[in-house]
A and B are shown apart, each in its own frame.
Chain A
Amino acid sequence: MSDKIVLMVFEVVGSGICVSSDDGQKVHDQIATALRQGKYVRLSFLNVESLTSAFLNASIGQLYGEFSEETIKLSLSVSDMEKNDLALLKRVVEMAKEYFRNPERFKKAREEALEERDAD
């Protein structure tokens, strides 16, 4: 079994138009499952044509509610992203970190994530 996983956003969403929160959730769920197993994830944006903050918040920003900044820094990377999309992602990540720095919010998000995992 490999410790490194490559996730193709295009393949998970089924399209290069990656704009909805629901599609972002699908990507998030894959990443989160891998991170919980201690895997390293490379998220490839090859062939992705359009991105929104809503998609990136759901797919990646949301991770900061369950995992520490340290874990995400060590275990997640992105590739094949255009310059402007990288800049957008950086802003999404900064806002997500700020969003979850509220300890109550972080605690609640973590509890919800654990409940969902147990329900699956």
Chain B
Amino acid sequence: MKIFLQEIRSDYEGFSVLVSLAAETRECDFDDIEIDMSRATWIDANMCAPFGAILYKVGRGLNTVRLTNIPVDVETILSRNGFLCNYGWSRRTDTYGSTIEYKRFDPKDDRYFADYIEKYMIGKGIPDMSFELLKKFRESIYEIFSNAVIHSRTKQGIFSCGQYYHKKHLFEFSIADLGIGIRQNIQRRFGLDLPAADAINWALEGHNTTKTGPIPGGLGLKLLREFIVRNEGRIQIVSDKGYWELSGEKVTTRSFSDPFPGTVVNIVINTGDTKSYCLASEVNPEEIF
């Protein structure tokens, strides 16, 4: 089987390419799958997370995956962040120290994930942000990972990758899982059959949560949203057939013709943000409980 891949940017069209790839390979078992990348003239590095998730799923069907005719620029990006190491390439040195490497984690790998993130937060060309912004940034990434661990029910892992764009003062980071997706989570928990994009919207509103059991929850994505709005960054969430994007304070939702086999959260942080993230008012520790 031969599939031609188009360029994959961090936008609806980029996710559409990946959703199509997932649909075309869904029924493959013991197949030889060549992904011809001659037409993929650009791939945003962070999109290796959802791209890698789909290829990993294909591999679990005992298919052989080959990536061929990779344009030079794309090969450079994907070997610097380690993505192509999974497909027979050597790693290239990340000369500018501007990548957070592509990696797959199991849900129980919180500690490894934390070590991986902390490794890139100090020096290594990742920009100097204010202490408060850096703390918010780190904690946002941890919230996304925790969300995937708690809600996805994935047995196939959680995939992450990031990239810093020096000139644009932007940091893009993606986490993808191969779990049950938000729509199905809501359907199982409440019997509500929402369109996929509406399901994502539901998850980000008010006190909505699918959490059950002895540990409460439901704050993670809301906190992320608040931070990104203040930072003037961007969030994209893809789950099942739903696409949800927050940019500035504007929310856009769209649908795909086929589902992404899990959930992706992509954040873009404005690293040039000089706003204070320190609370203006004091919270009295005596009045917490």
- Indicate if the CB atoms of A109 and B289 lie closer than 8 Å: no
Q: Is the interface of A mostly helix, strand, loop or mixed?
A: helix
Q: How large is the interface on B (under 10, 10 to 19, 20 to 34, 35 or more residues)?
A: 35 or more
Cβ-based interface call for B149 (8 A): yes
- Indicate if the CB atoms of A72 and B216 lie closer than 8 Å: no
Cβ-based interface call for B42 (8 A): no
| B71: min CB distance to chain A, Å | 38
**Chain B positions within 8 Å of A52 at CB level:** 139, 142-143, 146, 220
Count the A residues whose beta carbon is within 8 Å of the partner chain — how many? 48
Chain B interface (Cβ < 8 Å from any Cβ of A) = 108, 110-111, 114, 118, 132, 135, 138-139, 142-143, 145-147, 149-150, 207, 209, 211, 213-220, 223, 277-279, 282-283, 285-289
A98 to B278 CA separation, bound complex (whole angstroms): 27
Cross-chain contact of A65 among B135, B142, B214 (Cβ < 8 A): B214
Cross-chain contact of B110 among A20, A51, A76, A93 (Cβ < 8 A): A20
Q: A19-B110, A53-B146, A86-B288 are in contact. List 15 more A-B contacts (CB 8 A).
A: A17-B114, A49-B135, A53-B143, A54-B147, A54-B150, A54-B220, A77-B285, A83-B278, A84-B132, A84-B135, A87-B279, A88-B223, A90-B288, A99-B217, A100-B216
**Chain B positions within 8 Å of A83 at CB level:** 278-279, 282-283
**Binary contact readout A71-95 vs B (1 if CB under 8 angstroms, 0 otherwise):** 0110011110101101111111101
Cross-chain contact of A93 among B114, B278, B288 (Cβ < 8 A): B288
